[in-house]
Amino acid sequence: MPGSFPRQELECWFSIPPALAGKKVILQTDGQGKKVLRLEVQLPNFLEAEQLTTVSKPPEITELRVDEVKQGIFLTARITWKTDRVTDSTVLYGESESTRKNAGDPWLTKDHEMLLTDLQPRKTYSFVVVSQDIF
């Protein structure tokens, strides 16, 4: 996916189909030369689980920063921000609105980080971050 890179999260969010309510699922992680971790988890009966309520205000974005601009094979910029609840991550960036590129990550998190690539030296770029929650 453009603009994304491997992340090390302490907290991950994902949707679970209602058909899996009350059943066991196996979570598995494996990495390059690392030990495989398998964990069996009993899912709750969703009718007994805490219900999410629709939030009427949009997520609040804070601590927006350009953390790093780096010259390698290509010029890149790392953009970070936080949200007050779990959301996805999108950055729209470019020299003008008509040449904007889109870098997105569907992972739901409160701590966001996107790597903008294919930047040109001595050019001025603008960017907008967008974070949407499940509502």
What is residue 49's predicted lDDT score, i.e. its pLDDT? 63
Q: How far apart are CA 74 and CA 56, in angstroms?
A: 41
Which residues, 6 or more positions from 124, have their beta carbon under 8 angstroms from its beta carbon? 95
Instruction: Tell me if residue 29 falls in helix, strand or coil.
Output: strand
Residues of the chain with CATH 2.60.40.10: 61-130
Residue 1 has pLDDT above 60, yes or no: no
Q: So what's the pLDDT on residue 135? A: 77
Which CATH code fits 61-130?
Answer: 2.60.40.10
Q: Is 126 exposed, middle or buried (0-12, 13-18, 19+ CB in 10 A)?
A: exposed
pLDDT score for 65: 96
**Residue-level pLDDT at 40:** 86
Whole-prediction pTM:
0.62
Lowest mean pLDDT: which of 22-36, 66-80, 93-107, 118-132?
A: 22-36
